[in-house]
Amino acid sequence: MAEAVYRAVTREEEPEAMRLWTQVFNVPEGFFQTLLDVEEDRSLAQTRVAVCDGKIVSGLQFFYRDVRGLDGATSRMGGIANVATFEDARKCGHSGRLLQDAIEQMERDGCAWSMLFTGVNQHYARYGWKTVKTRSRKGNLRAGTRSGSGKYTVGALGHLLSEHLPELKVIHDEFDRSRPLSMVRSLRAWETAVYYRMGPESNSVVYTAKLDGATVAYAVVKREAEISLNEIGCRTGHERALLDIMDGIRADEAAKGGTVAHLWIPFDAVGDSCVEALVEGVETLEHGYVMARPIGTSMSMEDVEALFEAPEAIYWQLDNF
């Protein structure tokens, strides 16, 4: 094999890069395309490729996101994703070289830190990423008495979801306005990547709670072998509306024979009340698939780790890349 050239992808090569990701990860093209569509001013330099004999053999992407810190202020995070190499080109150092290029580009573009999701932590540790603690909870769906107030009208949006994205965005922005680790979502993000991950084809259900006709809270549940509570949000003063939603989820899942729920929500007072309302026999799970590192000098590794350790911190599942 000829010596590789490492560089940014060209516009003409983007379909070839897409084929690399869909073949290696066996994931529909829409998953990758919606991530690309979030950033209106995305640069080709954010997709790095290794080219041998005129063919892309390895590639990765990085996405820029504004993420809230401990004080609620935002910093630019560079999310590494879709690191892929064709099988016959592996163990040649391609991904390592691309990661080094990505670090340099992220620093030039003003990123304060970076994160990624992986199952091969030792590979990324060589380039400065460190495994950070993330937690979730799991339990058996609770039966019996109502937890909420019963004063809110709870329902599922179904095919009307796309029409309600602006009002969900308002609730999300208010609920997370000072929440560490949460991402600032544009309406464009809601309409592309977020919608893809919670829309009808995602096997998810979006529940809302209304009061006097106004939507004041929502929750996103994904149905698989066990249900996953992937996101919650409410307007200030309507925290109990989430408990009414939990009652609605329990009733629906009981009718479908569901028994176990996995909850990816904050370890704060609101999150704890939702856990108590939805499940019993709660188990806290610690995960090691998220890695992070500072970029440049504005943040230290200790600063980055502190983001993940705050009880109210959350990087919502719908923002995964």
Q: What is the pLDDT along the chain (321 residues), one digit of tens a residue?
A: 579 999 999 999 999 999 999 999 999 999 999 999 999 999 999 999 999 999 999 999 999 999 999 999 999 999 999 999 999 999 999 999 999 999 999 999 999 999 999 999 999 999 999 999 999 999 999 987 677 788 999 999 988 999 999 999 999 999 999 999 999 999 999 999 999 999 988 999 999 999 999 999 999 999 988 999 999 999 999 999 999 999 999 999 988 888 999 999 999 999 999 999 999 999 999 999 999 999 999 999 999 999 999 999 999 999 999
What's the CA gap between 156 and 142, in Å, rounded? 20
First to last CA, the chain: 31
Tell me which amino acid residue 146 is.
Answer: R
The pTM of this model reads 0.94
**What single-letter amino acid sits at 312?**
E
Question: What is residue 11's predicted lDDT score, i.e. its pLDDT?
Answer: 96
Show the tokens assigned to 116: 């990624």
| Residue entry with tokens 């560490």 | 180
Q: Tokens representing 256?
A: 């479908």
Per-residue confidence (pLDDT) for residue 233, from 0 to 100: 98
Q: 316 φ, ψ to 5°? A: -60, 145
Question: pLDDT at position 1, please?
Answer: 59
The secondary element (H helix, E strand) that includes residue 83 is strand 74-85
Question: Do the Cβ atoms of 279 and 141 come closer than 8 Å?
Answer: yes
Tell me what pLDDT residue 257 has: 83
